[in-house]
Amino acid sequence: MIGKMVYNAPETCVTHRCRISGVVRGDSLRTTPLTRNNLHMGIASITEGEDFMAAECSFDIVSEYDEQELVNAIDQARREVQTRFDLKDTKTEIAQTKDTIVINTESTLTLKGVRDILESKAVRRGLSLKIFKPGKEEDAASGRVRQVIELQQGIAQDLAKSITKTIRDKYPKVKPQIQGEAIRVSAKSRDELQAVIALLKEKDLPVPLQFINYRS
C-alpha cells in the first residue's frame, strides 16, 4: 500500500490554475515535488475530494466619483454664474463640503438656472447626475433661497442586498458578496461576469455603478 500524507503548502498548477497537494511515498519523509510529470507517474496525487478546478474570476462593484472632477465642475459653474447676464447680480454662492453642495441664491428661478449650469458642467466632466441627491428648497436670510445637494458615494446596504439578490436570481452559480460599501462578484468564467455587468447596466439604479479590480 502507498501511504498518503497531505503536503502542507499546496502549490498552484499554472497550466490548469488549480490547487493540488503533494504526498509522501511509503516510509520516506521526503515530500515529492508537485509537477505534472509526477502526477502522471503516480508519485504525487490529488488529495481525496479535490479536483482540477479553474480559478475563479472576479471583479468589484463600487459607486464612486472623481472628486477632483467634481471640484472642477463646481469651479466652472461658479465662473459661469458670475458672468451670465441673468445671474451675475444675484450674489449666488455655490459651496462644497465633503458630502454636500449648498446653493444660496436670489430666488427659485435663479436656483433652477444655477442647478442647470452645475449639472451641465458635471456631465461635461464625465460625472453622473446620479451622484447628486437634491434636498428641498429652503428659505434663507433676506428672502433668499438655498438648497442642499447630497453627494452620493458608496453602495448603501439596502441597495447592496437588492443588487446581490438580482444577481443570484438571474445567475445562481455566480457568487456576489457584500464588502462594506462595495460588492465582490466571483464566477467560474469571464462570460458569466460580463453577463452580470450587462444585467446591472440595464437596471435603473439610484446610484451610478463602476466595475473595477478585475481578476482572473
**CATH no. for residue 184?**
3.30.70.860
Question: Residue 92 sits in which domain range?
Answer: 67-151
Beta carbons within 8 Å of 32's beta carbon, 6+ residues apart: 7, 22, 23, 24, 25, 38, 43, 44
Could you identify the residue written with the cell 481525496? 48
Q: Is 1 within 8 Å of 25 (Cβ atoms)?
A: no
Run of H or E including 132: strand 132-134
Same domain as 161, residue 139: no
CA dist., res. 121 & res. 70, Å (int): 9
Same domain as 47, residue 8: yes
Q: Name the stretches of the chain with pLDDT < 70.
A: 1-54
Same domain as 185, residue 168: yes
Domains of the chain: total = 3
Same domain as 120, residue 75: yes
Residue 54 confidence (pLDDT)? 56
User: Radius of gyration over alpha carbons of the chain, in Å?
Assistant: 28
Residue 62 confidence (pLDDT)? 99
Q: Is 56 within 8 Å of 173 (Cβ atoms)?
A: no
pLDDT by residue (tens digit) across 182-192? 999 999 999 99
